[in-house]
A and B are shown apart, each in its own frame.
Chain A
Amino acid sequence: MLWDNLNYSPVYRMDFRLIRNFSIIAHIDHGKSTLADRLLEFTGAVSQRDMMAQVLDTMDLERERGITIKAHAVRLNYKADDGNVYELNLIDTPGHVDFTYEVSRSLQACEGALLVVDASQGVEAQTLANTYLALSHDLEIIPVINKIDLPSAEPERIREQIEQVIGLDASDAIMASAKNGVGIKETLEAIVKRVPAPKGDPDAPLRALIFDSWFDPYRGVIILTRVVDGALRKGQKIRLWSNGKAYEVEGLGFQSPKPVPCDELTAGEAGFVFANIKTISDAQVGDTIMDDSEPASEPLPGFQEIKPMVFAGLYPVESHEHGLLRDAIEKLRLNDSAFSFEPENSMALGFGFRCGFLGLLHLEIVQERLEREFQIDLITTAPGVRYRVTTTGGEVIEVDNPQKFPDPSSIEQVEEPIIDATVISREEYLGEILKLLEEKRGVQKKFEYIGSGRVLLLYELPLNEIVMDFYDRLKSASRGYASLDYHLSGHRISPMVKLDVLVAGEPVDALSMIVHRDFAYERGKALIERLRKLIPRQMFEVALQAAIGAKIIARENIPAMRKNVLAKCYGGDISRKRKLLEKQKEGKRRMKRVGRVDIPQEAFLAVLKVGSSGE
């Protein structure tokens, strides 16, 4: 982002009674980005000429997937029907379950939220979870029923559903079609009339909430913040509450949506600030910015250290790219303090990194950014969770890597992380979904018909089962109509065992996984069968075995290769022969050799797909 050569905004202090901070809560594809685009357009923040879809989602990944990964705070100036010009701060947040904590911080920065619901799809689990999150922060919720122009739209039914499922008064819900610009002015008026002006004391000692941050190579860490009390000024000495570190504010401003520098952000306002902070982990989401000389006595509530929940090994396909991968991971981490990494060494895959993520989407995002932005081919091992293992010696250790799972004889007990999962789906898919939840060791806690043929399920599930292949399975069980939300609820003692895979008698560490004892046989068998299809025939017969400790529980053989021969003469076309041989050789080189066996990369992902009864 360019921070220079920008138009300076006039210096004035906003009357905070004319400030409205709001967020948009929506399920994916329900129209959040389109609505945001229209609000920007209507208020003139973006001219028609510069308008492009999904203005705020600047990352390629965000545009391609139609998701928001990073938060934004965009200032809109709106002249309302009452004659006043309001400063509206749209605080856009990621909506995915992986980023619940970030969402909660963004919501904390607002006084209101637009709840956008698709007029034909209705309320989804994600929306529900985020709406409850917003209500718990006392936000004023304005329901917006979007896409009313679609032939399948049933706005009245959806209005009832919002009332019934969420318990909100939806009598004055806004009927909108963001695509066609319908309901935009009504939405802006509702924000002005119904969202409360920020409370907070401009004269009290500074307290500002960090709700996102990223790294800029020229400015250091850029913080998105909402000033709650006091004011942030250029040149001010600030202190971060969690680590006590002090910095001098070098610049501040707001996005509109391009960055506009200003001299001051006062109580009630949102914007960005940079203060020569070198590492992103120093500017943690949820932390409080204070004045260094006159620190407030209390930080803002709700700060948590973010802990990764899902773990996987990342390895370069080309082992000589290990150094490149390290640099790439370190660079990426400059912008994403939520993921952790430490060096890991696998017999099969060589040197790599054990990385921790907030969830599967987060994993995918990191993986894709590494491949895309740094051009590194990666092998990602099957994701797993962190277990709490008590050894017979009474020691408690945390294990997030199957390779480090202790020998069964020295394990007293294993506790696995448990989540509360909310699933909303159409009734007709209920049978399949219940079957899936049972198979995934789920315990039903709530079962509710929420009207219009929809069902809400609350289940207690082991997180480990979610990271295997749950999303894909849920999607296919419900033809894509089920939505899922979850949060960590605790730990449970479970008989977990480590399942090893032996290829030609050699254990392949990167294929090991931790599974529930009762599923070990079935998963081991499924995994071996899948590997038999993925590992190409070698020059000799290869035995594939699944084992728990020394006990072999499943076995398959890959027969020896019978032929690999190029017979045609091609009128002396030697270069064609050479090319083919080179291609075959290159293919082999991209495989990982374990003992005498060449294993293709896909085999390492096979672990992910087992346990699917559909196989």
Chain B
Amino acid sequence: MAGVYLSYPFCAQKCTFCNFASGVWPDAMKQRYERMLAREIEQHEWNWLPETVYWGGGTPSLMRPEALEGAMRVIPADHIREATIECAPGSVTAERAQAWRAAGINRVSLGVQSFVEAEARRTGRKHSAEVVQRELSVLADAGIDNVNIDLIAGLPGQTFDSWRASLGWVERLAPPHVSIYMFEIDEDSRLGQEALLGGTRYGADVLPPDDAVAGFYEYAVERLRVLGLPRYEISNFARSGFESVHNLKYWNLEPYIGFGVDAHSFDGSLRWSNVDSPEDYITRLERGASPRADESCSDLEEEHFFVGLRLAAGIEPSAREWSRFKEPIDRSLASGLLVRDAERLRLTDRGFLLSNEVFQEFVHAPAI
């Protein structure tokens, strides 16, 4: 069974930590985009019926509900178990929530990032914890109580106390699903770029050190476990039965089809993605061309390790994989980052935080 990913790349403002193909564009462009997104879906030949839908962004909660509804209508709905929309706090209204529910949405992922107002504001967010609280009840009233809350560990100015305060709100609001992302310092986000250049904008000079962020993460893992939200993937925590069906498809190497700007697809052997510029995407579809940018044949055995091992349950390597990756497996077991349970391999607690060190072992160094 497969998933559908839908991309809505528009935002009210670009957050400093964001490294997605998203941004702020004029309304006219949004409408052209909505039309072309529907067209791309319509043109798709469904070889399988989707089980999940995931609206990512950008900020899909800002999309006109009728456009969203229109896109949902052209997706075969018979087998859909889970349909998620990513929301920015402050964009959830009763009308929207009801429209989403009517369109088939049954799960919301709220990009809270921090419940500490000063931290959120610095990244470009304007919400408060109370707004999040109110919006959760709006969603519940509309019949959506399968909710995820995103938090970022490692925001500028974050301290252990402020981190604990954010998790305190998680405890109070008791969502069934939480994602914890550690901020990545790279040139893809404004904040990351500033930090790499040694500047002070966006609070780049008050980013908590690596060791502190590792500590935040470990604290969250423990606290969420106590709250009944065990870690089921490096950055995902859920009450039993509330794991994201859609996201699990990525880690289990199940197929998914992506529509829209920079949407990624996987059919079980090939991976491809759409162009990452909205303008390019729109004009290609308007003149009847394919929005696909690139395509590659994946090495599923490598992916089984560097994607599958992200899951707390780990993976069960095939006989071929055991022999092909004998050396890296042995090294990772010896360094205490991987552990073996009968025929399964999984990350150790330390291994989660150093998972890239393990995963590197399973990719080819590119030829230069």
List 21 A-B residue pairs with CB atoms under 8 Å apart, sorted by A's residue number.
Answer: A539-B337, A559-B211, A562-B210, A564-B355, A565-B234, A565-B352, A565-B356, A569-B250, A570-B264, A571-B56, A572-B265, A572-B266, A574-B264, A574-B303, A574-B307, A584-B356, A585-B360, A585-B363, A585-B365, A586-B365, A586-B366
- Which residues, 208 to 263 on B, are CB-close (under 8 Å) to A? 210-211, 213-214, 217, 234-235, 247, 249-250, 256, 258, 262-263
Interfacial chain A residues near B359, Cβ < 8 Å: 577, 581
Per-residue interface assignment for chain A, residues 129 to 148, with 1 indicating a CB less than 8 Å from any chain B CB and 0 otherwise? 00000000000000000000
- Once the chains are docked, how many angstroms separate the CA of A179 from the CA of B235? 66
- Once the chains are docked, how many angstroms separate the CA of A575 from the CA of B302? 12
Chain B's nearest CB lies how many Å from the CB of A589? 5
Q: Is A550 an interface residue (CB 8 A)?
A: no
Interfacial chain A residues near B296, Cβ < 8 Å: 575
Query: Looking at the complex, which one of B180, B265, B360 makes contact with A567 (CB distance below 8 Å)?
Result: B180
Q: Is A562 within 8 A of B181, CB to CB?
A: no
Q: Is B140 an interface residue (CB 8 A)?
A: no
- Which residues, 75 to 98 on A, are CB-close (under 8 Å) to B? none
Q: Is B54 an interface residue (CB 8 A)?
A: yes
- Once the chains are docked, how many angstroms separate the CA of A501 from the CA of B365? 30
- Once the chains are docked, how many angstroms separate the CA of A579 from the CA of B247? 20
Interfacial chain B residues near A567, Cβ < 8 Å: 180-182, 184, 234-235
Closest residue to A580 on the B side, CB-wise?
B356
- Once the chains are docked, how many angstroms separate the CA of A399 from the CA of B366? 41
Chain A's nearest CB lies how many Å from the CB of B65? 22
Interfacial chain B residues near A565, Cβ < 8 Å: 182, 234, 352-356
Interfacial chain B residues near A584, Cβ < 8 Å: 356, 360
- Once the chains are docked, how many angstroms separate the CA of A559 from the CA of B306? 26
Q: Is A577 within 8 A of B181, CB to CB?
A: no
Interfacial chain B residues near A572, Cβ < 8 Å: 5, 249-250, 256, 258, 264-266
Interfacial chain B residues near A559, Cβ < 8 Å: 211
Query: Looking at the complex, which one of B179, B256, B365 makes contact with A582 (CB distance below 8 Å)?
Result: B365
- Once the chains are docked, how many angstroms separate the CA of A9 from the CA of B74? 85
Kindly list the 6 A-B residue pairs having the minimum CB-CB distance in the complex, ordered from nearest: A562-B214, A563-B214, A567-B235, A564-B356, A563-B353, A567-B181
- Which residues, 1 to 19 on B, are CB-close (under 8 Å) to A? 5, 7, 19
- Once the chains are docked, how many angstroms separate the CA of A572 from the CA of B310? 13
Query: Looking at the complex, which one of B184, B262, B263, B337 makes contact with A568 (CB distance below 8 Å)?
Result: B184
Interfacial chain A residues near B265, Cβ < 8 Å: 572
Beyond A562-B353, A574-B298, A582-B365, 6 extra complex contacts between A and B, CB < 8 Å: A561-B354, A563-B353, A565-B234, A572-B266, A578-B302, A581-B306
Interface of A is mostly: helix
- Which residues, 345 to 364 on B, are CB-close (under 8 Å) to A? 352-357, 359-360, 363-364
Interfacial chain B residues near A561, Cβ < 8 Å: 354, 357
- Once the chains are docked, how many angstroms separate the CA of A457 from the CA of B262? 66
Q: Is A11 an interface residue (CB 8 A)?
A: no
Chain B's nearest CB lies how many Å from the CB of A169? 56
Interface of B is mostly: mixed
Q: Is A193 an interface residue (CB 8 A)?
A: no
- Once the chains are docked, how many angstroms separate the CA of A559 from the CA of B210? 12
Q: Is B5 within 8 A of A539, CB to CB?
A: no
Most chain B CB atoms below 10 A, which of A566, A572, A588: A572
Chain B's nearest CB lies how many Å from the CB of A320? 12
Q: Is B30 an interface residue (CB 8 A)?
A: no
Interfacial chain B residues near A580, Cβ < 8 Å: 356
- Once the chains are docked, how many angstroms separate the CA of A574 from the CA of B250? 8
Chain A's nearest CB lies how many Å from the CB of B3? 8
Q: Is A64 an interface residue (CB 8 A)?
A: no
Closest residue to B153 on the A side, CB-wise?
A567
Q: Is A298 an interface residue (CB 8 A)?
A: no
Closest residue to B360 on the A side, CB-wise?
A585
- Once the chains are docked, how many angstroms separate the CA of A224 from the CA of B258? 70
- Once the chains are docked, how many angstroms separate the CA of A584 from the CA of B366? 11
Q: Is B364 within 8 A of A582, CB to CB?
A: yes
Interfacial chain A residues near B277, Cβ < 8 Å: none
Q: Is A573 an interface residue (CB 8 A)?
A: yes
- Once the chains are docked, how many angstroms separate the CA of A145 from the CA of B256? 77
Q: Is B335 within 8 A of A573, CB to CB?
A: no
Chain A's nearest CB lies how many Å from the CB of B315? 15
Q: Is A539 within 8 A of B354, CB to CB?
A: yes
Chain B's nearest CB lies how many Å from the CB of A504? 15
Interfacial chain B residues near A539, Cβ < 8 Å: 335, 337, 354, 357
Interfacial chain B residues near A585, Cβ < 8 Å: 360, 363, 365
Interfacial chain B residues near A566, Cβ < 8 Å: 184, 355-356
Closest residue to B56 on the A side, CB-wise?
A571
- Once the chains are docked, how many angstroms separate the CA of A586 from the CA of B266? 26
- Once the chains are docked, how many angstroms separate the CA of A564 from the CA of B56? 25
Interfacial chain A residues near B181, Cβ < 8 Å: 567-568
Closest residue to B303 on the A side, CB-wise?
A574
Interfacial chain B residues near A563, Cβ < 8 Å: 182, 210, 213-214, 217, 353-354
Interfacial chain A residues near B302, Cβ < 8 Å: 578
Q: A562-B214, A563-B213 are in contact. Are A574 and B356 (CB under 8 A)?
A: no
Q: Is B368 an interface residue (CB 8 A)?
A: yes
- Once the chains are docked, how many angstroms separate the CA of A588 from the CA of B331? 16
